[in-house]
Each structure stands twice: as structure tokens, then as C-alpha cells.
Structure 1
């Protein structure tokens, strides 16, 4: 498969009069070795239907198509969404690609032309990476695994464990859906334009959420409250959620959590227990 290199990317960009925008978080991968590595680390197989968010000019798409059963590419930019099928057609793989011109934050199963994605593999726009990952894990229960390239700082947050300085809302909410880990660094020189930050790969493997009588929305409400004021103890941080500091303490003790602890010390199971005991 002939992949896109720096010269091909520039030719395509000139043809489309493309000026990558910060608003859409557009940084295009120009290194074939990087996209091959992503596909390899993602462990894409011929059984997988891959959803790719923000395919851009198609660098990663072209590496995914020979390995996957099908690729559903979700692109918000109308010019790029129109060009991608043409780029793929030149390589004779059009039957394995479906392009959806849409905002990934609004995608639902019914939007995907009958395809049920099993894997998320994407170079995600930095400014929406966390909400996109969380939305797709919630909206597409068929997703079993994922490998996303995000800003290094975001990768650290998504994969952080309780007690880490960067452990927070993204870490806990991602853990509701999946086992999450860092899967390697990515340098700046593989992009055009080169970003002013490093990137990282994040692996996600779907697992069942914690066993709980609380709903996801109820658990996420506790998580949001606990991290709204990171320096406060949970007794104080959850006072608004519970109705008063005393009620928060009662719920925490019932859940087996010390009221003087802080949110960054708890795993997703503890937040689920707290949600069960809301007054």
C-alpha cells in the first residue's frame, strides 16, 4: 500500500487550498512509519470495523484499510470529507471505506451506515480528544478496543492512576469504560504543521463498568463534584452534591471512604459506591 508522505501531503493540501486550522485541531501526520506503528500497536485485524475520527488527508486511513474489515471515517471538515474517498479510490480500496461528514461528538450508531465499529483508531484533534473518547465509548457499545494519538499531557491524564498528580475527571471517567494505559510517545516532527507539544498513544480495552446500583450519570455527577475543588476534602467537595457537609460525610462513611480523603485518591469503584449512598 502506497502511503502518504510529506510530498503527497503538500500536493493534496495545495490542491485543496488547505490551511490547517487550530479551531479544528488540524495537525496532519506526514510520516508513514508512524501510521504503520499505530496500526500495529492497535492490533487491528481483518475482523475489525474501525472508526477513525478526524482522518484529515488520509494518512492513517490508508494504513488501516488493508488490515481492517472496514473503516468508518468521521470527518467534520467538508472539504476533507469529500477528498478522502477520492484518495482511497486511487488505491482501489473504496469498498472498505465509509466516510461520514459529521461532528464526532454527535455521532450515534444510526449515523454509521449500518456499521458497528469494534475499534477506535485515530489521531484525535487535541482540543476535543477527551470528550470524543468518552462520547464514543458511551455511544458505541460495540467498541471493544481503541488506540488514540493525543497530546502527551492528555495521554498522561487519561491513563493516570489514583494518587497521581494528573489523575482527575478524564482518568476516572475513562476507567468507567476501559482499562487505559500509555502506549508510547510520538514526536512533533511527524506532523504538518508541527505542533508545539509532544504527543502520545493511549490504549483502551473495553471492560464492564463497576458493579453498582447507581447509574453512570449518578456516578459521573459524584466525580465532577469531587474534582471541582481539588484541594478540598471529599466531605467539603461533596457537600453541594449531598446537600450538606454532614450528609456528604454520611454517604462517604457508608461507602467505606474516609471523609478527609480527596478525589484524586479514589478509583472508579469508590466513586460508584459513593453514588449508591446519596442521601
Structure 2
């Protein structure tokens, strides 16, 4: 495997600060990613954010098919050279991952559907929610995120880090911490440590479907904008309140079922409770 720095220099390429580009170059960490995902000869893999493509090439040698999405088209010549020797080269999509129609990329009849992404910090929430919405049938996702994002993914109700990403992803499935990744594993070196976490889908199809629903994401974001207000006020301020004639009886029944206090805040509700509230109010 060629060194990342040499590859970039050969093609006169430089990481973009505007895109938050930080590239994984440690072969041991790449091997760990392969081991965690363990793509087999019948599995399909979708990579969000391919960058220069070193881990992409490794993944492509094991999966039945690989679709890699990269927003920066300057990597195209590098990719063409890097993947030229592969028996099954990845299908490269040079597009903003938030705007891709993922269902057009999924091949029916394949084995497991696996997702991997080395996510830029400023787009972590958007890209994980995009993966939930676009690939609800995934068997496993593995994301490289900054270490402090781990706290947001696993936050408890009522905590400052608890929000839309926490609720939707934990309704979809459960997070499993895999490993800490040193900043020295990347080029250029970021200022913070990273972490690899797997998202393992729930066996409850209805929960996965709701967690993938963009309307539910908007509902959560609206409530969390008024997280310090009472639940009733948060529903009204966010526009989720269906009106006093319908809303008050529905909210009262919701609170009574779980023996919750009238002044409860939205940030105190569990993902399951927020899912039930959404279903009641829509």
C-alpha cells in the first residue's frame, strides 16, 4: 500500500480545510476497520467520505461490491490510478453525501449491507442522520468520529449532549464503542483524538423505520430547540402541537401512561417515549 503523503504529492493534492479533510493513514487502524466490519464475498458496502481512497481500496478487495461517495472531485485521477489493478473496483460517486439517493445504489439480493464513514466533525450529525434515512436496511454501520461525539451518541436523557442525533440513532439501534484512534493515525493530524463506534440496528422494524423518518428528525430538532421549556410549551413553540382540542387530551394521556409529571421537559424523555409522543401528535 503506497504512503498517503506520497500519493497526494504525486497528484499535487492537498487536504481542504474548508471541507474538514483529515485522512486516515495508519494501516493498523485500517486493518481494525476491516476486522470490525468483516465484509464477506456476498456483502455490499457503502462508504461515506472516501477521501484519497486507501481504506476504500482495502474494503473493495473483500466486499462483493463497494460504492464510495466523495464530495471532492479532485481525487478522481488519484482514484483511477489507485483502483486500476482491482478486480472489482469501487463505484465512485462524486457528490455531497447528504444529497445522494442511497436506495438507487443498493443492489437487491446481496448479503449484508454495511456502511462505513470517516466523518468530518462539522457534518457528523447530518451524515449519520442521512445514513439512517437513506439506508434503513443496513446490517451495521461503523463511523469514525471525534472522541467528544461519542458522548453525544450515548448521552442520557436530560444531559446537555442529549439531542436529535442521540434519540434517532438510539431508537434505530445501539452504539458499540470499538476503539480509540490516536490523532497520529491521520494526515494532517487533527487536534483531538477520534473513536470508532458501530451502530447495530434494532430488531424492532417499526422503531428503525421511525428513526429513519425525516419528519421524526424535524420533530426532535424542534423540541430540542425548546429543551428547557415544559413539554407542552415545547410542543407549541416548535409547531408540533396539533391544537388545544386534540393536543391537550393526547398529552395528558401520554403523561398519565408513563406516570410523568405535567411540567416535564422534552429533554427528559427517552427515545422510546419521544417515538410514542411523535406517533400520538402526528
When normalised by structure 2's length, the TM-score is: 0.84
1:175-254 matches, within 5 Å, as 175-207=170-202, 208-210=205-207, 216-240=213-237, 241-242=240-241, 250-254=249-253
Q: Give the superposition deviation at 1:37.
A: 0.9
Q: Is 2:275 aligned against 1:272? A: yes
Structure 2 counterpart of 1:150: 145
Structure 2 counterpart of 1:122: 117
* Residues 210, 105 of structure 1: alpha-carbon distance in 2 compared, 3 angstrom cutoff: same
* Residues 218, 19 of structure 1: alpha-carbon distance in 2 compared, 3 angstrom cutoff: closer
CA distance in 1, matches of 2:162, 2:155: 5
Q: Deviations over 1:76-127 (max 9, x none)?
A: 11121332132122xx324242111111111113653857780111212222
* Residues 139, 17 of structure 1: alpha-carbon distance in 2 compared, 3 angstrom cutoff: same
* Residues 274, 71 of structure 1: alpha-carbon distance in 2 compared, 3 angstrom cutoff: same
Instruction: Judge which range, 150-159 or 193-202, deviates more.
Output: 150-159
Q: Is 2:99 aligned against 1:98? A: no
Structure 2 counterpart of 1:166: 161
User: Unpaired segments of 5 or more residues in structure 1?
Assistant: none
CA distance in 2, matches of 1:212, 1:98: 27
Q: Give the superposition deviation at 1:66.
A: 2.8
Q: Give the superposition deviation at 1:182.
A: 2.7
CA contact (8 A) 2:172 2:212 kept: no
SS of residue paired to 1:237? helix
* Residues 33, 71 of structure 1: alpha-carbon distance in 2 compared, 3 angstrom cutoff: same
CA distance in 1, matches of 2:24, 2:211: 42
CA distance in 1, matches of 2:57, 2:180: 22
Q: Give the superposition deviation at 1:217.
A: 4.6
CA distance in 1, matches of 2:152, 2:252: 28
CA distance in 1, matches of 2:210, 2:56: 40
1:11-160 matches, within 5 Å, as 11-89=6-84, 92-109=85-102, 111-112=104-105, 118-160=113-155
* Residues 220, 78 of structure 1: alpha-carbon distance in 2 compared, 3 angstrom cutoff: closer
SS of residue paired to 2:7? helix
CA distance in 2, matches of 1:194, 1:82: 24
Q: Give the superposition deviation at 1:192.
A: 0.6
Structure 2 counterpart of 1:261: 264
CA distance in 1, matches of 2:246, 2:161: 28
Q: Give the superposition deviation at 1:155.
A: 2.6
CA contact (8 A) 2:22 2:189 kept: yes
* Residues 239, 250 of structure 1: alpha-carbon distance in 2 compared, 3 angstrom cutoff: farther
SS of residue paired to 1:242? coil
Aligned-residue CA RMSD (Å): 2.9
